[in-house]
Structure 1
Amino acid sequence: MNVWFAASEAAPLVKTGGLADVVGALPKSLAKRGVDVTVVMPKYGQIPAGVTAATTGKGMFQVSLGWRSQYCGLEEVTVDGVRFLLIDNEYYFKRGSLYGYGDEAERFAFFSFAFMEALCREERLPDVVHCHDWQTGLIPFLMRTRYAYHPGFEQIRTVFTIHNLMYQGVFSRDLLQDLLSVGDDLFGEDGLEFYGAGSCMKAGLRYADKLTTVSPTYAGEIQTAEYGEQLDGVLRQRAGDLLGIVNGIDTDSYDPMNDVNVKVPYRNSLAKKRLNKTALQQELGLDEDGQVPLIGIVSRLVGQKGFDLIGEALPALMEERLQLVVLGSGEPRFESMLREACERHPGRIAVWFGFNEGLARRIYAASDMFLMPSRFEPCGLSQLISLRYRTVPIVRETGGLRDTVQPYNEYTGEGNGFSFGPASAHDLLHTVQRALSFYEDEDAWRRIVLNGSRKDCGWDASSKEYHQLYRELATG
């Protein structure tokens, strides 16, 4: 089985979020099942020099984007046993950050065409092309339109995975028609048209052979008006081709016994875990107290992640015996809220604005609880990392959070975390208070942590589902 991944980022080469973790870890798990995966992604300036120095040139060619003709270099490198093909064009990809530019449509249209041209030059064609999120949504479209008659392409099947439906790659119709050199016939209701504009996400949804998203619950949610981001009708039409497969994490990388960022390695010892808490308290200027419950948050500071609920509940939360540590960046209103909270509660709240991978892992290791009150969450990886680091998740029941966190039942002793349904500050506060009450019961808390340690957070089960999907597609 030969599969090509198309993605805008992948760990360990470059990462801004969970997409990179998935694209980095899933190929390694699939390889154990005999699947040969090639990851195709842009050659960003942020890729470590050690990686780019090890690449081998695979060719150079021109890519046409409407009236433009742009250089493209193709480079190959193997990292952690996975073959990467890097699309090289410094004008589009050697910039200060991965995303956030005014020419995003052109950048990722170029990437999509370059992917197809790289495919044209490959001696061994893949059985399946697996595309990830809107940045690659044009690839299934090109496969079935502009490149439909290329020899061998009729045998290639495509999978398109929705990692977050909110981000859709919507651009003006005129711009996309220019970049793709297509007429009005492909911009109808059954094509790329999206409320007068054009959508790269919709291109993937319409033209891929199969669709997946990153949890079973989210697969159902996005077929509703509440969560469907105006694409719920398209998703309902393709419900028979839509599968929810929950993400995993790289359990070799996220291992508190072997993580170099963790001060005191541990597995199931809460006493050793507590030493990491006091070390983090020292590092961030919190009051040093190994017994006080520490709640961690590693997140983008945006409304989707429920920071408005946290803001409403914060005054009451700070009346409880707890400490709070937050790592992330995002909307100015939430950053200001957290700055003010730090000033009001010195020694009890610590915030690091930005992202720091090492600090994130130390927060997972040090925290007793991990808070994720997301308004929606396609899958979420933080709750899985938390469980791996023996940290008890507190989540809202949505998407992958609902699929992976089982609320604790004090009567049966089952459950690996705490959860609430309504997106309200009241329910968030009540659930945190409930978790705090069980934290004071050492036997109950140890039971909850032990339950969490039994959760399989890895990719084995999920990669089995992807493998089965690929085989079904490849055999018709």
Structure 2
Amino acid sequence: MKQFKLLYLASELSPFAVAGGLADVTSALPKALKNLNQEVRLMIPKYKSINERKYVLREVIRLREIPVTVGSQTAIASVKSAFLPDSKVQVYFIEVGDFFARPGIYNDPKTNQPYPDNAIRYAFFCKAAIETLKKLSWQPEIIHCNDWQTAFVPVYLKTLYMGDPFFKGIKTIYTIHNLTTQGEFDVEVAEKIDFDKSQVKKGGMFYKDGKLNLTKAAILFSDFITTVSENYAHEILTDDKIGFGFREILEEKEDKFEGIMNGVDYAVWSPEKDKYIPFKYSKEEIEKKIENKKAMLLRLGMPFNEDVPVIGMISKLTELKGFDLLLEVLDDLLKEDLQLVIHGDGERDIAETLLSYAKKFPKKISVSVTYDEKMAHLIEAGSDMFLMPSKYEPCGLNQIYSMRYGTIPIVSPIGGLFDSVDDIDEESGLGTGFVMEDLTAESLLKAIKRALAYFKNKEKWVEIQKRIMEEDFSWDISAKRYLDIYERVMTGDEI
């Protein structure tokens, strides 16, 4: 297997700085690539929230006081280094002026609104990453960028740094994790990030729907584009609502666009090893799972009954995650013999409505409008079913986590949910979860009732649990697919 020098560039990384699923991917894929004998390094911003003492960040003397200029501004970058926990993957934390010395990653926690200078912040991060490579005298063969915060790199390398011999031959891969955030900004931002306003006019590399669009530019300038599941890639090219009008742009890339299912780090998400759950268990000891159910309900102040199924949800409380569908059927659902545990933050009106139900039916529904890592693991281990009625889910990870915990998923038929969950057949019992027929409240209620009916047959239920715990979505599989793309990009072979 050929060894590559890879720089993995992202705006978040577990456990250092977490805002969503991107942080898990950024942590797991480089480790899987390292295990495949690749030379891989990571770069992320040095956010204020990162605990330097806890993670043993060390100064790198030659990476101090690097001047970085973007537009008319110059800031000083300094870089610290550490290793990803339980790995030999080196991480560089880039501090640029005071751009990342704020309490939030992307948003101001007081207002929950994006920082108004986010485009400039991440332009500085990307420029600083490029300059850091020169100071290190380390030339990667491939720079793998993730979402709009890193979109500047493929653009800068093929424009501002085009004549710099240090970067000659470096290829860029750009992964779209979620098109709901594309890096859209006002036209005036162009000059602040080193480009002329003409590039935000029709025909310009940044122009899309009257805005400056960083994702569009990254797609145009990258050597290959990936996204996080095969079905999501298909949806982007066939459904303008899901693809946000990127079909034509991506079709121009011909065969240089591919969906690769995200994997799971089973060292973190596995009931045999999970450090957050009180009772570890395996497929052979599936009976111990119920102890986590007891512990979870006790923590939430809810009654325990072995014969009453618990449906867990860990999600942003938004319509895109299907909560409007859930609210439409919640009155009918609560008439059933079940308990519902919801964990996550999001839209205030949805949260308040759910909290009102929890107040009215405290024995049947629990709602925690927050995110707690330990509780998330306990919900996966303690629930009997896991509900994801999403209207938009590029990959989804919780349905995959759930399978390993013997927690049977109930999902909508979109994105990565469609790729990863096979509907359970009524006659044979084969399948890995309950898939909604379509994106309607009626279909959601029907899928849940199917699951509740199956739960009553304990023998069948345990059989399904043991089967789904054998499903393998490890990163090794996905990492090998990325290596295949790296090799073809480097050799110039047609994909």
| Aligned residue in 2 for 1:91 | 98
Match of 1:285 among 293, 297, 301: 301
**What is the deviation of 1:271?**
2.1
The answer to whether the aligner puts 1:214 opposite 2:228 as a matched pair is: yes
Secondary structure at 1:240's aligned position in 2?
Answer: coil
Distance 1:456 1:159 in 2: 26
Quote the RMSD (CA, aligned, Å): 1.4
**In 2: Cα distance, 1:39 partner to 1:182 partner:** 31
Change (3 A) 1:69 1:122: same
Count the aligned residue pairs: 476
CA displacement at 1:154 relative to structure 2: 2.4
Deviation at 1:179, TM superposition (A): 2.1
- Residues in 1 aligned to 2:427 and 2:306: alpha-carbon distance in whole angstroms: 29
What's the offset of the Cα at 1:253? 1.0
Cα pair 1:213 1:243 within 8 Å, conserved: yes
Compute the displacement of 1:152 (Å).
Answer: 3.6
What residue in structure 1 maps to residue 78 of structure 2? Answer: 73
Matched, 1:172 2:179: no
The reply to whether residue 379 of structure 1 matches residue 379 of structure 2 is no
What is the deviation of 1:383? Answer: 0.6
CA offset digits 1:257-303 (Å, max 9, x no partner): 22121111111233211111111111001112122100000011111
Q: Could you tell which deviates more after superposition, 209-218 or 268-277?
A: 268-277
Distance 1:186 1:174, change over 3 A: closer
SS of 2:244's equivalent? coil
How do 1:15-414 and structure 2 match up within 5 A?
15-51=18-54, 53-57=56-60, 58-79=63-84, 80-89=87-96, 91-100=98-107, 101-182=115-196, 184-185=198-199, 188-223=202-237, 224-268=239-283, 269-414=285-430
Following superposition, the deviation at residue 48 of structure 1 comes to 2.2
Distance 1:63 1:181 in 2: 16
For structure 2, the 5+ residue unaligned runs are: 108-114
Measured in 1, the distance between the counterparts of 2:437 and 2:257 equals 25
**Residue of structure 1 equivalent to 2:111:** none
8 A Cα contact 1:56 1:77, kept in partner? no
Query: In the aligned structure 2, how far is the partner of 1:315 from the partner of 1:14?
Result: 38
CA deviation after TM superposition for structure 1 residue 160, in Å = 0.2
**253-262 vs 360-369, which deviates more?**
253-262
Secondary structure at the aligned position of 1:9 is classed as coil
The share of aligned pairs that are identical, in percent, is 35
Cα distance in 2 between the residues matched to 1:189 and 1:304: 31
Where 1:355 maps in the other structure, the secondary structure is coil
Q: How far did residue 60 of structure 1 move?
A: 2.1
Q: Which amino acid aligns with 1:77?
A: A
The code of the aligned residue for 1:66 comes to G
Q: Is the 8 A contact 2:264 2:401 kept in 1?
A: yes
Using the TM superposition, give the Cα deviation of residue 75 of structure 1 relative to its aligned residue in structure 2, in angstroms.
1.9
Q: Equivalent residue for 2:110?
A: none
Structure 2 vs 1, CA of residues 28 and 63 (structure 1 numbering), >3 Å: closer, same or farther? same
Q: TM-score, normalised by structure 1?
A: 0.97
Stretch moving more, 319-328 or 255-264: 255-264
- Residue 12 of structure 1 corresponds to 15
Q: What is the identity, as a one-letter code, of the residue corresponding to 1:296? A: G
Q: Secondary structure at the match of 2:243?
A: coil
Give secondary structure in 1 for the equivalent of 2:165: coil
Deviates more, 1:185-194 or 1:226-235: 185-194
Separation (CA, whole Å) in 1 of partners of 2:263 and 2:410: 18
Q: Secondary structure at the match of 2:410?
A: strand
CA distance in 2, matches of 1:188, 1:72: 35
Residue 2 of structure 1 corresponds to 5
SS of equivalent to 1:173:
coil
Moved over 4 A (4+): 185-188
Give 3-state SS (helix, strand or coil) of 2:189's partner. helix
Deviation of 1:186 after TM superposition, in Å, equals 7.1
Decide whether the 8 Å contact of 1:133 with 1:162 is kept in 2.
yes
Native 8 Å contact 1:51 1:77 kept in 2: no
| 1:190-211 deviations in Å (ceiling 9; x for gaps) | 5111222211111111110100
Shift of 1:187: 5.1
Residue number in structure 2 paired with 1:465: 481
For residues 239 and 350 of structure 1, the distance between their equivalents in structure 2, rounded to whole angstroms, comes to 48
Give the whole-Å Cα distance in 2 for the aligned partners of 1:363 and 1:158. 38
Look up the equivalent residue of 2:210 and give its one-letter code: G
Residue deviations 1:390-444 (CA, integer Å, cap 9, x gap): 1000000101000000111132332111101311110000000000100101121
Q: What is the letter of the counterpart of residue 158 of structure 2?
A: R
Quote the Cα distance in structure 1 between the aligned partners of 2:426 and 2:226.
Answer: 35
Aligned position for 1:442: 458
TM-score with structure 2 setting the length: 0.93
Secondary structure in 2 matching 1:297? strand
Query: SS at the partner of 1:410?
Result: coil
User: Which secondary structure does the structure 2 equivalent of 1:370 belong to?
Assistant: strand
Q: Contact (CA 8 Å) 2:289, 2:381: kept in 1 or not?
A: yes
